[in-house]
Chain A
Amino acid sequence: MKEDPILSVQNLAIAYKTRKGYIQAVRDVSFEIMPGENLGLVGESGCGKSTVAYSLVGFLGRNGRITNGRIIFKGQDMQSLDEKTLRKLRGAHIAMVYQEPMSSLNPTMRIGRQLAEALAAHTDLPAEEIRQRCIKALQDVYMPEPESILARYPHQLSGGQQQRVCIAMAMLNQPELLIMDEPTTALDVTVEAAVLDLVAELQEKFRTATLYISHNLGVIARVADKVGVMYAGELVELASTEQIYTHPLHPYTVGLMRCLPDVDAPRGTRELHPIPGRVPSPAEVPAGCIFAPRCEYAVPECSAGRPSFQEIAPGHFARCWRAREWLENPLWTKKPAKSSTYVCAKPESEEPILKVEDVRTYYPVPFTTVRSLIGLEKRRYVRAVDGVSLSVDCGYTLGIVGESGCGKSSLARTIVGLETPTGGKMEFLGIDISNEPVERRRREVIRHLQMVFQNPDGTLNPSYTVGDQIAMSLKRFRVVPANEVYGRVVQLLEAVKLNETYYHRLPRQLSGGEKQRVGIARAIASNPKMVICDEPVSALDVSVQAAVLMLLQEIQQQFQTAMILISHDLSSVRFFSDYVAVMYLGKIVEYGQVEEIFSPPSHPYTAALLAAVPRPDPTLKQEFVRLSGEIPSPVNPPAGCRFHTRCPYKLGEICEREEPPARRMSMDHVIYCHLPADTLQAIHPVIRRSA
């Protein structure tokens, strides 16, 4: 007997009212979720996946409305329900976990009350029983000391804990359907990994049907049984997780996978294939197949009519005119890695372009407490960078990885002079730049040490045109005579794959990727000898990330610029760097050539980071090095080895007391750890391909 689906969405279309009239945000989306099944919904930002999620609970805001299709939950048509019935479904039968746990919890209400009211709204249990259930729910999500948590306010918990509370809240009424909207996006990799473990465990335990929304193919591969891929408001492909990742039938799905750098691929063995163009805004949807303008397999008929969502193979739906062709000629097979052509040859006798020795950057703690405000407390400092030494050679790239708060961005800002170091020594091109903020540096130094920033929306001044902003650098450093400035700007725009028409555009007329390109053009305008890239792609959509990464690589090869790539994403670091430094709480824990970092011996933290990266491959079974606890505050870093509070290999008291020694594993490879070399050799994230 065939089971009935918990949720069935049929030809759903949602429109939002804007000043220019209604805009179709979601068109013709159909899927089903069976009891106990996990459907992953993946897509880039703005593709409508969150809109779909909120429509399921009837929460589209005043501007949104369902213009077509049906949502059937347990046999009931959700649109026919009145407010009261809908309210009884919400929280009790359909529960939700949100992207930003901090803002999703009421800041002025204790956790206990917020949990309790979710139960009280749907049951008549006595208060004590409710309390016990809340405690139980917190235990289920592995919150330490659940009773004391109940009495706390949300801001007293870390981001990971807040999300656990949100999950506990959603599970309180044991809903039949759980909707998770990017629940780990705001979290660090290692915390994300722990939350994903928890989600998997809860699914196992309660068999709750789940709709899991994420932009991250790796995360989806870990949690979902079935995957739907959304693009520009439409569901373009839907199949079991395995089918999606092994035999994708839609060029967009393939495009997404091909533009992801692979954290397991040694440097030089993978090429990225960015998807050209950009996601159309809901207001300017092309007439034919929505993906046709960006599709490398598009034929003329693709732009003529809109393809329907068809079952191409059993259980495998796709919205592509040529889908059946791809059954015979697979679009994508995971090719065996080509042998690497990459050699990291250390330049001989050449002096490094940048030398950093024992640099420390402390920030005074901002006035948060009333006591510090009035100067009664000893001034406390965030030890963002706490004794970092490294060097970068001409024409090479150093990757710096670490989770948020590890001090990698502060280090970058200190090197370029946006912050003044509290101590230590820095030399650039043989000139001492230790105590000079950028305002006091020589023009030659400034010119040769430029930076690419993280946030595309902040990187350009909204008041000036693209061309003017690049031209300002050219004029300031007198790179070319005044009458050649325009021509040079156009050359630079072309170098970053933009054209002359961009000269007079304002930043707000550009997409995120384009802004980032302009930021790169501005950084290389002065022909710098070194460029520091601070998370250059982390704010971009995956399909755009690849293009920007490749652009950076191309520029580096073309201009022989030395680079520092700062990133939390290990795969882009492996794709791009010659040397890698791993940072934790203001210190470097491991340093070496790129392939030395990504293979044993490893620092326990590096291994944990590597293990935590979700791989877009459901056949990979990872054995995890999981970290317990949260990252300690850099205001009060732990004594001894800073990693000892979370280290699964902690030796004992020595780790708490003494700074770890530098263990030199090879000429370049250094690990800062108390563990003996042979133990370090044995630490590595075990990744096994299931049979």
Chain B
Amino acid sequence: MARYIIRRLFTMVITMLVVSIIIFAVVEIAPGNVARNILGAYATPEQEKSMENQLGLDRPVAIRYISWLFGSDWQAERKIGRPLKEIVIQQGTVERFRQWWAVDEDGSLVRWGIQDGQLYKYTRQPDGSTVGVPDEGAWKTDENGVQYFWGVDNANRAVLWVKGQGSVEYRYEYSGWRKFENAPVDYIPLTKGLLRGDAGISLRYRAPVSELIASRLKNSGILAALAFLVSMPMGLLLGLLAGLNEGKPADRIISLFGLVTAASPDFATGIFLIMIFSLWLKILPGATVFASSTAILDNPKMLILPVLTASLVEMGYILRITRASVVEVVQSNYVRTAILKGLTRTQVVLRHVLRNSLLAPITVIMLHVNWLIGGLVVVESVFGYPGLGNFILNAALYKDVYAIEAASMFLILLAVGTQLIADIIYSFLNPRVRYA
């Protein structure tokens, strides 16, 4: 079994690799560009070019992919000639910053900057502050006599300054767009790469993707878990009821209900529920508006409709599979044997029907997690729910490639993980697999 799991995980890694390459390629060939998405429709061509340069988007796609996967610090180290180090700064209990520094000969952490045309070297002090000293001697000269310097700047990038030949840089800061003169001419955004646990910086939010995903994942997780808690028992129960009463009115009604809920697109179900409960009965809010991303559980009323929408579709599906499975088991020879042994109906159902008929639904539901995720994207979009689905949708529309990549990798992990769990559960429920 352990080896089987290893094999599955290996296949998963290959899948992730292939998918990540495809996504990079697809985003690459897609029309439109991120810089324009970030800057808005009114940006000038220079601004756009500067932005692309800063984000490293002007570098070849293969290099960007490798940087994303294995990191870019080792590329930058070769240019700078010093080792680089990422440190995490804790501020209070929640806020965390990541900073890149170069390690000086004496072991201190240093960065550089241009001030009044002069190169300054800033050394990090134990208390977190920096002390800057001019470092004009650090300039190097190439064969054409041009003075240049590769260093680390204060925005976590390896940059190339050329003396007297600064370009113009536009940076988005809290106060708005700022223009910098004497800016570097080349940039390498520093990252450790996915394989070393760094999912990169979202091009859109300028924040680490992993943190963005984590907070939204929590929201989606709550939604999915609640939906699962509602749909799973209901679906199994109704499916069992319908299957045991095959052909009778109860079955007809439940089956039709299952078909309608499973076949209706999620957004349609959501819209209907909003119309009924929010517009007509006015008892529940029709959209989710949260003051902060942590406040979801403070307002449980807002969760009801999204959860209900997500549950209904999934429930219809579970119900249909369970029913089909129960019908098949009820007609099996071993149930006939059980009945003719003289067992009561309840005994037959509990001992012989239940376990065998749950085999199919449980695995199918686990395999179905992709579908559930698709449903979440839509449900979150209907209700404006700040979850992962919404995040992915926006990332896709925005071409925020690192966000798409990270989210996709996570989803594949989730899908393969649940499949693995399904296999394990199945092997425990079905002795034929366990011992075969």
Binding site for B on A (CB under 8 A): 57, 59, 62, 87-92, 95-96, 98, 100, 103-109, 117-118, 121-122, 153, 155-156, 166, 169, 368-371, 373-374, 376
Contacts and interface: CB of A to CB of B under 8 A. Distances in A.
Contact of A100 (B333, B355, B436): B333
Given A108-B356, A371-B4, A373-B4, A121 B432 contact: no
B343 A117 contact: yes
Nearest to B343: A121
B432 A155 contact: yes
A92 B341 CA distance: 7
Contact of B334 (A59, A87, A103, A156): A103
A155 B3 contact: no
* B1, B336, B429 pick with most chain A CB within 10 angstroms: B336
15 contacts: A87-B344, A88-B342, A90-B339, A90-B342, A91-B340, A91-B342, A98-B333, A98-B336, A108-B432, A117-B341, A117-B351, A118-B341, A153-B432, A371-B4, A374-B7
Task: Indicate the size class of the contact surface on chain B.
Answer: 20 to 34
B4 A107 contact: no
Given A103-B332, A371-B3, A374-B7, A121 B356 contact: no
Contacts of B343: 87, 91, 117, 121
Given A90-B340, A98-B333, A103-B333, A121 B347 contact: yes
B347 A106 contact: no
Contacts of A106: 334, 337-338, 351-352, 356
State the 3 A-B residue pairs at the shortest beta-carbon distance, nearest first: A91-B342, A91-B341, A103-B333
Interface string B310-350: 00000000000000000000001110111111111001000
Interface in B1-23: 1, 3-4, 7
B337 A117 contact: no
A89 B340 CA distance: 9
Given A156-B435, A368-B436, A108 B430 contact: yes
A62 B247 contact: yes
Contacts of A95: 340
Contacts of A87: 342-344
A369 B339 CA distance: 33
Contacts of A118: 341-342
A109 B335 CA distance: 12
Contact of B340 (A59, A107, A369): A59
B431 interface: yes
Given A117-B347, A370-B4, A108 B342 contact: no
Contacts of A121: 341-344, 347
* A87, A88, A98, A105 pick with most chain B CB within 10 angstroms: A87
A155 B431 CA distance: 9
A59 B4 contact: no
B296 to A, nearest CB: 41
Given A117-B347, A370-B1, A92 B334 contact: no
Interface string B395-436: 000000000000000000000000000000001011110011
Contacts of A103: 332-334
Contacts of B431: 107-108, 153, 155
A104 B339 CA distance: 11
B328 to A, nearest CB: 12
A121 B352 CA distance: 14
B337 A105 contact: yes
B426 to A, nearest CB: 11
Decide if the interface of chain B is mainly helix, strand, loop or mixed. Answer: helix
A92 B342 CA distance: 7
A96 B435 contact: no
B413 to A, nearest CB: 20
Interface of B: 1, 3-4, 7, 247, 332-334, 336-344, 347, 351-352, 355-356, 359, 427, 429-432, 435-436
Nearest to B247: A62
Contacts of B247: 62
Contacts of B359: 108
B337 A98 contact: yes
A105 B432 CA distance: 13
Nearest to B1: A370
A285 to B, nearest CB: 28
B334 A105 contact: yes
Contacts of B435: 153, 155-156
Nearest to B436: A368
A368 B433 CA distance: 8
B21 to A, nearest CB: 25
Contacts of B333: 98, 100, 103-104
B244 to A, nearest CB: 12
Contacts of B356: 106-108
A89 B342 contact: yes
A625 B345 CA distance: 46
A59 B339 contact: yes
B432 A90 contact: no
Contacts of B3: 370-371, 374, 376
B422 to A, nearest CB: 14
A291 B194 CA distance: 80
A181 B430 CA distance: 28
Contacts of B1: 370
Contacts of B427: 370
B341 A169 contact: yes
A81 to B, nearest CB: 13
A371 B4 CA distance: 7
Given A104-B333, A107-B432, A108-B356, A90 B338 contact: no
A106 B330 CA distance: 12
B336 A104 contact: yes
Contacts of B432: 107-108, 153, 155
B337 A90 contact: no
A122 B347 CA distance: 13
A62 B332 CA distance: 14
A245 B344 CA distance: 43
A89 B435 CA distance: 36
B429 A108 contact: yes
B223 to A, nearest CB: 34
B430 A107 contact: yes
A107 B334 contact: yes
B4 A104 contact: no
Contacts of B344: 87, 121
Nearest to B7: A374
A87 B339 CA distance: 8
Given A108-B429, A374-B3, A376-B3, A59 B336 contact: yes
Nearest to A101: B333
A399 to B, nearest CB: 35
Contacts of B341: 90-91, 117-118, 121, 169
Nearest to A173: B342
Given A103-B332, A117-B338, A368-B436, 9 more contacts: A57-B340, A90-B339, A104-B334, A105-B337, A106-B337, A121-B341, A153-B432, A373-B4, A374-B7
Contacts of B430: 107-108
A424 to B, nearest CB: 32
A439 B344 CA distance: 58
A368 B432 CA distance: 10
A246 B327 CA distance: 48
Nearest to A155: B432
A369 B3 CA distance: 12
A349 to B, nearest CB: 55
A373 B427 CA distance: 14
A264 B299 CA distance: 88
A88 B338 CA distance: 13
A87 B336 CA distance: 13
Contacts of A368: 436
A157 to B, nearest CB: 12
Given A92-B342, A105-B337, A117-B341, A374 B4 contact: yes
A116 B341 CA distance: 11
A105 B351 CA distance: 13
Nearest to A370: B4
A117 B352 CA distance: 11
